[in-house]
Amino acid sequence: MPHRIAPDSDRGSVTAEYALVLPLVLATLAFIIAAVTLGAHKIVLTSVAADYARFMARDDSAAAQASLAQLNYKTAITQQHYGQISCYDISGNPGVGPLSIITITARGCAAKTE
């Protein structure tokens, strides 16, 4: 079965189609990678917030600061008390480049032990 070779007039349209589609495919791929990266950072931040709350409930601020050291970016912490329960909201900007404008926040709560 012989292969049909595209006439010269069709070759330009194929190139134009690739020129239009390739940036869209690359942008979609970049968006997916960014979403997965931010999701992974959210999981880590949630785990650190839970550890931080548990350590602070035990009055172990050194261990709480060590748990924050796992993060490779600057964080902000806010604290709220609900009776014997203390909650800590930890937020930060884990991304680089265009992702650095996105702030991720996680909350960890623990009951105060005596």
What is the tens place of the pLDDT at every residue in 58-86? Answer: 999 999 999 999 888 889 999 999 999 99
Whole-model pTM: value is: 0.76
pLDDT digits (tens, 9 = 90+) for 4-19: 665 555 667 778 888 8
Q: Is residue 1 part of a domain?
A: no
Q: Is residue 100 part of a domain?
A: yes
Query: What are 90's strand-pairing partners?
Result: 77, 106
Q: Is residue 23 part of a domain?
A: yes
Cα gap 91→49, rounded to integer Å: 9
Q: Is residue 106 part of a domain?
A: yes
Q: Is residue 99 part of a domain?
A: yes
Structural domains in the chain (count)? 1
Q: Is residue 90 part of a domain?
A: yes
Cα gap 87→76, rounded to integer Å: 14
Nearest CA among 25, 31, 71 for reference residue 51: 71
Q: Is residue 3 part of a domain?
A: no
Q: Is residue 74 part of a domain?
A: yes
Domain span including residue 53: 12-111
